[in-house]
Chain A
Amino acid sequence: MATRAETKMVTGKINGQDVTVPAGTTILEAARMANIEVPNLCYQPLMRPWGSCRICTVEILGKRGGLIESCATPLGEGMEVLTHSEPVEDARQFVLQMYLIDHALDCPTCDKSGECYLQDNTYLSNVNTNPYRRPKFAQPYTHFSETIDYKFDRCIMCNRCTRVCDEVIGVTAIESTHRSIEAAISPAFGLELEDTLCTNCGMCIAVCPVGALTDRHFAHHPWDLDSTETICGFCDYGCTINVESNKGVVRRATNLWERGTNHGYVCEKGKWGHEIQQAPDRLRYPRVNQPGSSGYEVTWDDALDSIAATLQNYKGSEFAALISPDDTNEDAYLAQKFTRAVMGSNNVDRLLTTSQVAVERSVRASLGRDVGSTNNMQEMFTDVHAAMVVGPDIGKTAPVASYWLYHSIIYRESKIVVISQDEYPLCWRAQLWLKPNEGSTGTLLKGIARQIIDLKLHAEGIGKKDLERLTASLADYDLDKVARSTGVAGDKIQAAAVLYATGGVGLDRKVEDEYPSSVIFNTAAHIGSPVTSGTDDNAAEITELCNDLALLTSNFGRAGGGVTTPRGAANYQGTTDMGVHPAFLPGGRAVLDDTSRAEIEAAWGVELPTTQGYAIDEIAGAIEVGEIKALYLESTLAKQAENSPELLTALSKLEFLIYAGAFESPIAEIADVVLPRALSLEVDGTFTSFDRTVQRVRSTVPAAGEARPTGAIFAGIASRMGSNMSYLPVSAVLDEVGSLVPEYGGVNFARLERDGLNVPVSNFADPGASILVPGPDGLASLSPAFVSMAAD
Chain B
Amino acid sequence: MAQPTSDLPRLTSQKAFDEFRARAIEKWEAIWNGKKTVVSIGIGSSSIPVGALDVMAAFERIADKENLHVRKTGVDGADWTDVQVRVKRPGEPAVVYANVVPSDAKGIIDGKHRGKIIGVEGDQPFDGIQPLDTHPFYKYQQRIVLQDVGVIDPDSIEEAIARGAYMGLYRALFELTPEEVIAEVTTANVRGRGGAGFPAGIKWESGRKARVTPKFVTCNSHEGEPNVYKDRRIHEGDPHRVLEGILIACVAVGAERGYNYVGGEYPLAIQRFRKAVDDATALGLVGRDMLGSGKNVAFRLRTGGGAYVCGEGSAMMYSIMGVRGQPRTKPPRSVEEGLWKRPTVANNTETLSNMRDIVVKGGEWYAQFGTEKSKGTKLMTVQGPMKTMGLVEVPMGINFKTLIDEVWGGMRDGYTFKGIQTGGVSAGPLRYEQLDVPVDFDSLTPLGGMLGSGGFVVFDETVCAVDFARYLTAFNRVESCSKCVPCARGNPALVETVDRIRFGRGSQRDLPLLERTSKHVIELSLCGLGQVAPMPLLGMMQQYPEEFQAHIDGVCPCGVCPVSAEATVEALAAD
Q: Give the contacting residue for B478; candidates A51, A176, A179; CB below 8 A.
A: A179
As a 0/1 sequence over residues 43 to 67 of chain A, the CB contacts with chain B under 8 angstroms (1 = contact) are 0000001111111010000000011
Q: Which residue of B lies closest to A180 (CB)?
A: B480
Q: How far is the CB of B261 from chain A (nearest CB, A)?
A: 18
Asked whether, in the complex, the Cβ of B489 is within 8 Å of the Cβ of A102, the reply is yes
Give the A-B contact count at a CB cut-off of 8 A: 99
Q: Give the contacting residue for B328; candidates A51, A156, A176; CB below 8 A.
A: A51
- Tell me which of A91-99, A324-332, A357-365 binds B: A91-99
Q: In this assembly, does B321 line the interface, its C-beta being within 8 Å of a C-beta of chain A?
A: no
As a 0/1 sequence over residues 490 to 525 of chain B, the CB contacts with chain A under 8 angstroms (1 = contact) are 111100110000000000010001001100100111
Asked whether, in the complex, the Cβ of A180 is within 8 Å of the Cβ of B478, the reply is yes
Q: In this assembly, does B112 line the interface, its C-beta being within 8 Å of a C-beta of chain A?
A: no
In the bound complex, CA of A134 to CA of B503 (Å): 14
In the bound complex, CA of A72 to CA of B327 (Å): 13
Asked whether, in the complex, the Cβ of B483 is within 8 Å of the Cβ of A91, the reply is no
- The listed residue with most B CB atoms (<10 A of its CB), out of A134, A179, A183, is A179
Residues of A near B324 (CB, < 8 A) are 175-176
As a 0/1 sequence over residues 478 to 489 of chain B, the CB contacts with chain A under 8 angstroms (1 = contact) are 111111111011
Asked whether, in the complex, the Cβ of A95 is within 8 Å of the Cβ of B486, the reply is yes
Q: In this assembly, does B526 line the interface, its C-beta being within 8 Å of a C-beta of chain A?
A: yes
Q: How far is the CB of B532 from chain A (nearest CB, A)?
A: 16
Residues of A near B523 (CB, < 8 A) are 66-67, 91
Q: In this assembly, does A131 line the interface, its C-beta being within 8 Å of a C-beta of chain B?
A: yes
Q: Which residue of A lies closest to B526 (CB)?
A: A51
Asked whether, in the complex, the Cβ of B480 is within 8 Å of the Cβ of A54, the reply is no
In the bound complex, CA of A57 to CA of B488 (Å): 17
Asked whether, in the complex, the Cβ of B482 is within 8 Å of the Cβ of A134, the reply is no
Q: Give the contacting residue for A99; candidates B485, B492, B525; CB below 8 A.
A: B485
* Contact A95/B524 with A49-B329, A72-B329, A178-B482 known, Cβ cut-off 8 Å: yes
Q: In this assembly, does A438 line the interface, its C-beta being within 8 Å of a C-beta of chain B?
A: no
In the bound complex, CA of A53 to CA of B482 (Å): 10
Asked whether, in the complex, the Cβ of A52 is within 8 Å of the Cβ of B484, the reply is yes
Name the interface residues of B450-485: CB closer than 8 Å to any CB of A: 477-485
In the bound complex, CA of A54 to CA of B490 (Å): 12
Q: Which residue of B lies closest to A100 (CB)?
A: B489
Q: Give the contacting residue for A180; candidates B329, B341, B477; CB below 8 A.
A: B477
* Contact A183/B482 with A57-B524, A72-B329, A74-B331 known, Cβ cut-off 8 Å: yes
Q: In this assembly, does B316 line the interface, its C-beta being within 8 Å of a C-beta of chain A?
A: no
Name the interface residues of A127-181: CB closer than 8 Å to any CB of B: 131-132, 134, 156-157, 159, 175-176, 178-181
Name the interface residues of A168-202: CB closer than 8 Å to any CB of B: 175-176, 178-183
In the bound complex, CA of A631 to CA of B488 (Å): 67
* Contact A95/B329 with A51-B526, A132-B493, A175-B324 known, Cβ cut-off 8 Å: no
In the bound complex, CA of A276 to CA of B563 (Å): 64
Residues of A near B488 (CB, < 8 A) are 157, 179-181, 183
Asked whether, in the complex, the Cβ of B489 is within 8 Å of the Cβ of A101, the reply is yes
Residues of B near A67 (CB, < 8 A) are 523-524
Q: In this assembly, does B280 line the interface, its C-beta being within 8 Å of a C-beta of chain A?
A: no
Q: In this assembly, does B382 line the interface, its C-beta being within 8 Å of a C-beta of chain A?
A: no
As a 0/1 sequence over residues 300 to 343 of chain B, the CB contacts with chain A under 8 angstroms (1 = contact) are 00000001010000000000000010001101000000000100
Q: How far is the CB of B344 from chain A (nearest CB, A)?
A: 16
Residues of B near A57 (CB, < 8 A) are 524
Residues of B near A180 (CB, < 8 A) are 477-482, 488, 491-492
Q: Which residue of A lies closest to B489 (CB)?
A: A98
Q: Which residue of A lies closest to B487 (CB)?
A: A180
Q: Which residue of A lies closest to B519 (CB)?
A: A94
Q: How far is the CB of B551 from chain A (nearest CB, A)?
A: 18
Asked whether, in the complex, the Cβ of A98 is within 8 Å of the Cβ of B329, the reply is no
Asked whether, in the complex, the Cβ of B484 is within 8 Å of the Cβ of A51, the reply is yes
Residues of B near A159 (CB, < 8 A) are 483
In the bound complex, CA of A132 to CA of B309 (Å): 26
Residues of A near B484 (CB, < 8 A) are 51-54
Q: Which residue of A lies closest to B483 (CB)?
A: A52
Q: Which residue of B lies closest to A96 (CB)?
A: B485
Q: In this assembly, does A69 line the interface, its C-beta being within 8 Å of a C-beta of chain B?
A: yes
Residues of A near B485 (CB, < 8 A) are 52-55, 95, 98-99, 156-157
Q: In this assembly, does A413 line the interface, its C-beta being within 8 Å of a C-beta of chain B?
A: yes
In the bound complex, CA of A99 to CA of B478 (Å): 17
As a 0/1 sequence over residues 99 to 126 of chain B, the CB contacts with chain A under 8 angstroms (1 = contact) are 0000000000000000000000000000
In the bound complex, CA of A53 to CA of B483 (Å): 8
Asked whether, in the complex, the Cβ of B331 is within 8 Å of the Cβ of A181, the reply is no
Q: Give the contacting residue for B486; candidates A72, A98, A157; CB below 8 A.
A: A98
Residues of A near B329 (CB, < 8 A) are 49-51, 69, 72-73
Asked whether, in the complex, the Cβ of A52 is within 8 Å of the Cβ of B524, the reply is no
Name the interface residues of B58-99: CB closer than 8 Å to any CB of A: none
Residues of B near A99 (CB, < 8 A) are 485, 489
In the bound complex, CA of A57 to CA of B481 (Å): 20
In the bound complex, CA of A697 to CA of B27 (Å): 86
- The listed residue with most A CB atoms (<10 A of its CB), out of B477, B479, B490, is B490
Residues of A near B490 (CB, < 8 A) are 94, 98
Q: Which residue of A lies closest to B490 (CB)?
A: A98
Asked whether, in the complex, the Cβ of A94 is within 8 Å of the Cβ of B479, the reply is no
Residues of A near B331 (CB, < 8 A) are 73-74
As a 0/1 sequence over residues 411 to 445 of chain A, the CB contacts with chain B under 8 angstroms (1 = contact) are 00100000000000000000000000000000000
Residues of A near B341 (CB, < 8 A) are 413
Residues of B near A178 (CB, < 8 A) are 482
Residues of B near A72 (CB, < 8 A) are 329
Q: Which residue of B lies closest to A181 (CB)?
A: B492
- The listed residue with most A CB atoms (<10 A of its CB), out of B477, B520, B525, B526, is B520
Asked whether, in the complex, the Cβ of B520 is within 8 Å of the Cβ of A94, the reply is yes
In the bound complex, CA of A101 to CA of B493 (Å): 9
Asked whether, in the complex, the Cβ of A179 is within 8 Å of the Cβ of B489, the reply is no
In the bound complex, CA of A66 to CA of B520 (Å): 12
In the bound complex, CA of A9 to CA of B512 (Å): 45
Residues of B near A134 (CB, < 8 A) are 496
Q: Which residue of B lies closest to A41 (CB)?
A: B485
Q: Which residue of A lies closest to B525 (CB)?
A: A54
Residues of A near B492 (CB, < 8 A) are 101, 180-181
Asked whether, in the complex, the Cβ of A52 is within 8 Å of the Cβ of B526, the reply is yes
Q: Which residue of B lies closest to A162 (CB)?
A: B324
Residues of B near A175 (CB, < 8 A) are 324
- The listed residue with most A CB atoms (<10 A of its CB), out of B331, B480, B489, B526, is B489
Residues of B near A101 (CB, < 8 A) are 489, 492-493
Q: How far is the CB of A421 from chain B (nearest CB, A)?
A: 28
Asked whether, in the complex, the Cβ of A176 is within 8 Å of the Cβ of B482, the reply is yes
Q: How far is the CB of A700 from chain B (nearest CB, A)?
A: 38
Asked whether, in the complex, the Cβ of A54 is within 8 Å of the Cβ of B328, the reply is no
- The listed residue with most A CB atoms (<10 A of its CB), out of B485, B493, B526, is B485
Q: How far is the CB of B482 from chain A (nearest CB, A)?
A: 3
Q: How far is the CB of A83 from chain B (nearest CB, A)?
A: 15
As a 0/1 sequence over residues 377 to 411 of chain A, the CB contacts with chain B under 8 angstroms (1 = contact) are 00000000000000000000000000000000000
| New contact pairs (20) apart from A52-B483, A99-B489, A132-B496, CB-CB < 8 Å | A50-B329, A51-B329, A57-B524, A72-B329, A73-B331, A74-B331, A94-B524, A95-B524, A98-B493, A99-B485, A131-B513, A157-B485, A157-B488, A159-B483, A179-B478, A180-B479, A180-B482, A180-B491, A181-B488, A413-B341
- State the A residues within 8 Å of B (CB): 49-55, 57, 66-67, 69, 72-74, 90-91, 94-95, 98-99, 101-102, 131-132, 134, 156-157, 159, 175-176, 178-183, 413
Name 27 A/B residue pairs within 8 A (Cβ), A-sorted. Answer: A52-B484, A54-B524, A57-B524, A66-B523, A67-B523, A72-B329, A90-B520, A98-B485, A99-B485, A99-B489, A101-B489, A131-B513, A156-B485, A159-B483, A176-B482, A178-B482, A179-B309, A179-B479, A179-B480, A179-B488, A180-B480, A180-B491, A181-B488, A181-B489, A181-B492, A182-B482, A413-B341
User: Considering the complex of A and B, which 9 residue pairs feature the smallest CB-CB distances, nearest first?
Assistant: A183-B482, A51-B329, A72-B329, A98-B489, A94-B520, A180-B480, A54-B524, A132-B493, A179-B482
- State the B residues within 8 Å of A (CB): 307, 309, 324, 328-329, 331, 341, 477-486, 488-493, 496-497, 509, 513, 516-517, 520, 523-526
